[in-house]
Amino acid sequence: MQTNDSIGAAIDMMSREERFDPGDVLYSDQLHLVLPALLAGVPAVIPRRRFNPARLLADLRRYRATQTFGFPSEYQQLVEYTSARGRTLPASLRTILLGSAPVPRTFLERLQAVLPATTRVRCVYGMTEIVPVSRVDLEEKLVFHGEGDLVGRPVEGVRVRIAGDGELLVSGPNLCRGYWGQPPVTEVATGDLGVLDGDGRIVLFGRKKEMIIRGQHNIYPEVFESSIGGISGVRRCCLVGLYQDARADEEVILCVEGEPGTDAAALHTLVERSLRTGSHRIDAAALPDRIVIMPIPLAPRSKKVDRSAVRVALQSGG
């Protein structure tokens, strides 16, 4: 349950993080952006129709949007659409905010190729219970070469700490009061495993419940998926674990969806080789037991990879 105080704090934080000036136009349906824009006297264009990259590009040009928010999976489609036509995003765009799902560096590299020189990209980390938590600019993410997903420094006012099992815990004035029918909360467990680096930035290693345990090794899928996603011809990928009674252990399976028109057999060979040698090689302890080339479903609302659906497909004969 959100309260006047938590919503007000979130609006104040977003207003500080993303300043709106006279003449700006926001293109978004996200409440945490629409309200700050309206309070600043800036018009907000709220898309009402199902996502379509051609329509989004046309709307951004038509309304001369200066700020917008997008899901990485949707903007991946926008990048593909724009690149295929040799175009760039509108020069009116001053800021693109990305969130609601991991933002891998391989995707940002593709996005950077279609950006006007003056457009800034910021990745926002948060959740329903508390938003925003942290933010990081595209340039900072691209120069980060450590393990994990850099999501940046906590927003002013947000407090973070790492639990004994590695889970990220967050609190702050923008935290919800709690869950319906439950006692009030003062801190929320994010479900994400992470650390704070030497600069006080949050680095995530994936979802706590998605960690794969094979033998004596803990495997954090998102640590490796970003690198695998950079292999030529890979559109999206995910590592999942399926428990096998015969081996009394989890089988690690790498699922890969190719770019349109990519030959499946050739892609399988390339991925298998790339995992062991070259710039996309991964830790030997995380090498998959098998690689499956298949369409990778996305969750309808969040547009994140639907790992549950992937597991069901594999168990059904994938």
Same domain, residue pair 34 and 139: yes
How many CB atoms sit inside 10 A of residue 1's CB?
A: 13
Which residue reads 């457009």 in tokens? 119
Residue 317 pLDDT exceeds 80: no
**DSSP annotation of 93:** -
Residue 250 maps to a domain: yes
Is there a single domain that holds both residue 216 and residue 310?
A: yes
**Top-confidence residue, 287 or 72:** 287
The residues that bridge with 154 in the sheet, in sequence order, are 134
Does position 248 have pLDDT exceeding 80, yes or no? no
Strands 95-98 and 120-127: parallel
152, part of any domain: no
Q: How confident is the model at residue 213 (pLDDT cuts 50, 70, 90)?
A: confident
- Could you tell me if 142 and 22 lie in one domain? yes
Closest CA to 170 of 152, 187, 185: 187
Residue 225 falls inside a structural domain: yes
Q: What is the pLDDT of residues 75-129, one digit of tens each?
A: 888 999 999 999 999 999 999 999 887 788 888 999 999 999 999 999 999 988 9
Please give the helix or strand (H or E) that residue 253 lies within, else none: strand 249-258
The total number of structural domains in the chain stands at 2
Final residue of a structural domain among 147, 179, 202: 147
61 and 135 part of one domain: yes
Residue 44 has which token pair?
Answer: 């907000």
In a domain, 83, yes or no: yes
Phi/psi at 302 (5° precision) = -80, -20
What's the confidence (pLDDT) of residue 3? 92
Final residue of a structural domain among 100, 118, 147: 147
Q: Which pair of structure tokens corresponds to residue 6?
A: 């938590």
155 is a domain residue: no
CA atoms within 13 A on the CB side of 253: 22
First CA to last CA distance, the chain: 40
Q: How many CB atoms lie within 10 A of CB 264?
A: 13
C-alpha angle with apex 15: 206 to 176, nearest 5 degrees?
55
Mean pLDDT for the chain overall: 92
Q: With the C-alpha atoms ordered 146, 191, 170, 8, is the resulting torsion angle positive or negative?
A: positive
The reply to whether 98 and 217 lie within a common domain is no
Alpha-carbon distance values, 22 to 63, 110, 196 (Å) = 15, 31, 37
CATH of the domain at 254: 3.30.300.30
Give me the domain span that covers residue 226.
211-315
Helix axes 4-17, 31-39, angle to 10 degrees: 70
Residue 78: CATH number of its domain = 3.40.50.980
The pLDDT score that the predictor gives to residue 101 is 77
Lowest-confidence region among 1-15, 88-102, 302-316: 302-316
